[in-house]
Amino acid sequence: MSKHWSISDLLDGKASADTEVTVKGWVRTQRPSKAGFSFINLHDGSCFNPIQVIAPAELDNYDSDVLKATTGASLVVTGRLVASQGKGQSFEIQATSIEVLGLVDDPASYPIQPKPHTMEFLRTVAHLRPRTNAIGAVTRVRNCLAQAIHRFMHEKQFNWIHTPIITASDCEGAGEMFRVSTLDQTNLPLTDKGEVDYNQDFFGKEAFLTVSGQLNVETYCMAMSKVYTFGPTFRAENSNTSRHLAEFWMVEPEIAFADLQDNADLAEEMLQYICKAVLDERADDLAFFNQRIDKTVIERLEAIVNNQFERMDYTDAIKVLQTSGKKFEYPVEWGVDLQSEHERYLAEEKIGRPVILMNYPKDIKAFYMRLNDDEKTVAAMDVLAPGIGEMIGGSQREERLDVLDRRIDEMDLPKEHYWWYRDLRRYGTVPHAGFGLGFERMVAYTTGMQNIRDVIPFPRAPGSAEF
């Protein structure tokens, strides 16, 4: 294909005015004028704003093609880049030729009309929704966040570890898992006991899609010191909410020679870094979100970048909730897991920003979290964000083999399945900690989008895997 400019570069003034340029993209709107030309707004995904093309009636194919290029049609436009006479854009293109690559069949029923759509409707046309302002902006912000995460980690000398998607160990324990099997589902091989014989399956044992790369990444942490995973994870929970997906992306850093404070500091520094990246690099998209989606988005991101995160012990949070004067549906007492209403009160009403809750009762947390000296709490932390709830969950890991074994026994877990995880405590164990950031929750928080299904290109949820 011949060389052409991105609309982003043209609007940024990277090409000299009065030179000939070519752009390729899709029509957002066309406004024909009887004054002898037509205004076409063309977008190519490179930035929020489209570029305005002035198509003069003198073009050979003006009546035959150009005027038929309705919203959604694809064009190659060549012309002179000039300072715009109109308001709303710095530059525009005075077209000398317009090639229509693809028209829109039946414009009346083309789903992406130049008018507001609901997010619910756009989910039913997920193959076309990236052409909208909102989903296009989400896509760029999502990319910006992902790139910023890798950049942050790289600058801090973390190694990105590609942990497996398929796991044959059933010891992850973070929820229901999707089974991976090549057995003939209509004719399953059975053992003598009448159970499915997974010895005959592809891996010779049961296999699943991962729910977390944590246990795997801990092994590399015990050699590379600073590591992280960033990839898709899967939960087969029947969760039907605006903040859960069956397939979602998670960032899981793991740091050696570190405790819970170091872990919280890392989470804070990373969130500040990536929020700043979005403020710096995606001002155009943020302006849109701030105007159309959530009027507090920019303010919120600036507050994260410019303020220390509030840190609060679970035990203190319980006291705050008990003395809040609020009537909660679920009563609060030490030892209970916090309900959404409690987390919301803390993050939204009490603090108004993300808050890091630390040191939870051991009975409501996972076996691998490090037991505190009080023997009642573990070194766990959650980052709670207004509107999203739990954005990050993490902990200092139990590095003492005897204590870990005690916890495994207490929870009645199959110790033999954790043999390689326990080995890490036998061979040069060190204090270490890590956390998991729900990437889509971060994108939702950053954009103000209310449903997590609108911040991932093709959302997977119970009963929903179209596209």
User: Among residues 198 and 300, whose Cβ is nearest to RNA?
Assistant: 300
The letter for the amino acid at 253 is P
Using rule CB under 7 A, residue 391 touches RNA = yes
User: Among residues 98 and 201, whose Cβ is nearest to RNA?
Assistant: 98
Instruction: Please list every residue from 395 through 434 that binds RNA, using CB under 7 A.
Output: none
Identified binder of RNA from the candidate list 2, 16, 19, 109, rule CB under 7 A? 109
- Looking up tokens 């693809």 gives 102
The window from 183-191, 319-327, 404-412, 448-456 that contacts RNA (CB under 7 A) reads 448-456
What span, in angstroms and rounded, lies between the C-alpha atoms of 111 and 207? 41
The window from 4-12, 137-145, 149-157, 340-348 that contacts RNA (CB under 7 A) reads 340-348
User: Among residues 33 and 191, whose Cβ is nearest to RNA?
Assistant: 33
What span, in angstroms and rounded, lies between the C-alpha atoms of 18 and 168? 62
Instruction: Please list every residue from 285 through 324 that binds RNA, using CB under 7 A.
Output: 292
Task: Count Cα neighbours of 218 within 13 Å in the Cβ-side half-sphere.
Answer: 29
Least distance to RNA from the beta carbon of 141, Å? 17
Identified binder of RNA from the candidate list 284, 341, 348, 405, rule CB under 7 A? 341
What span, in angstroms and rounded, lies between the C-alpha atoms of 214 and 251? 10
The window from 29-37, 155-163, 409-417, 423-431 that contacts RNA (CB under 7 A) reads 29-37
User: Among residues 31 and 154, whose Cβ is nearest to RNA?
Assistant: 31
CA distances from 308 to 149, 266, 304, 318 (A): 19, 12, 7, 22
Using rule CB under 7 A, residue 32 touches RNA = yes
Q: Which residues, including other chains, have CB under 8 Å from residue 367's CB and lie 6 or more apart?
A: 173, 398, 404, 407, 408, 410, 411, 413
Using rule CB under 7 A, residue 105 touches RNA = no
Give the largest Cα separation in the chain, rounded.
85
Instruction: Please list every residue from 346 through 385 that binds RNA, using CB under 7 A.
Output: none
Using rule CB under 7 A, residue 266 touches RNA = no
b or e along 146-175 (b: 16 or more beta carbons within 10 Å of the residue's beta carbon)? bebbeebbeeeebeebebeeebebebbbbe
CB-CB contact of 230 with 146 (8 Å): yes
The window from 33-41, 150-158, 224-232, 262-270 that contacts RNA (CB under 7 A) reads 33-41
Least distance to RNA from the beta carbon of 259, Å? 19
Least distance to RNA from the beta carbon of 122, Å? 8
